[in-house]
Amino acid sequence: MSTRCTMPGAGLWRLGLGMVLFLLPLTGMAHPHVWADISVKVVLDDQGRVEALRQRWRLDPFYSLMLIEELKGAEGDAPMEARLDQLGSEIRNNLAPKGYFTEIRHDGEPVAVDEVEEYTTMARNDRVEFLFKLPLAHPLPLGDSALRYRIYDPSYYIEMVHEINDDQTPRDDALIVVGGDCTTRIIAADPDPEQVAMAARLDRTDEAPEGLGRFFAETGEIRCTP
């Protein structure tokens, strides 16, 4: 897991499992409060058009532990696999009206996405992972223009960054393209000092301005040979 500095809400899991976040320390602390390491596979069809972004989100160990303990303590005798499936359904349903926390642009224009139908949730190596396929509304030929995306919680309750190496550089598999001759890069966020200060002033009970997370989001860029 990458090293973070605590700075900047309604987070997505707070909507579905609000009781879990009440277990967080009630001390004043800046946003964000939950961290997720993400990786993206851009899927091309047989014509070289972008058709989907497969994403994996790995929640930080502390929050993963709370989720797992909450699932274990829930009523009923359902196995953990079924409880994780239910958690995945809640996450997917809460993400849907927020565009799955994913903003995609091509040649400067927004790209529409379709509903997520393929998803799974698992607990692996002490981390809860949410994996899903985000299809585009229509297959997109890139031509000479780059496809760019940002994945972020608008409230910045959750900080989401691509998987990194020990030297803090993005891992090679943090962003890959399947099915084409393409180049990729991950552009670091560059928030304004005023936005950093605003996030630092927000404690756990404060409501962050909607869209704050966008300023702290990395940008994934994909260029493919026509």
CA dihedral 158→159→165→166, nearest 10 degrees, is -90
Residue 24: inside a domain: no
Q: What is the pLDDT of residue 47?
A: 93
Model pLDDT, residue 3: 37
Give the whole-angstrom CA distance, residue 31 versus residue 50: 34
How many domains does the structure of the chain reveal?
1
Which ranges of the chain does DSSP label H, i.e. alpha helix? 12-16, 18-21, 61-73, 80-95, 193-201
Answer whether residue 95 is part of any domain.
yes
State the 10-residue block means of pLDDT for the chain, 226 residues long: 35 40 41 88 96 97 91 88 92 93 96 97 95 98 96 90 91 93 93 68 60 85 90
Quote the tokens at residue 143.
């031509």
Residue 101 lies in a domain: yes
Domain annotation covers residue 9: no
pTM (2 decimals)? 0.83
Q: Which of 73, 75, 64, 218 is nearest to 128 (CA)?
A: 64
pLDDT at position 180, please? Answer: 85
Does some domain include residue 122?
A: yes
Domain coverage including residue 77: 34-224
Residue 4 in domain = no
Q: Does 27 reside within a domain?
A: no
What's the pLDDT at 196? 63
Residue 26 belongs to a domain: no
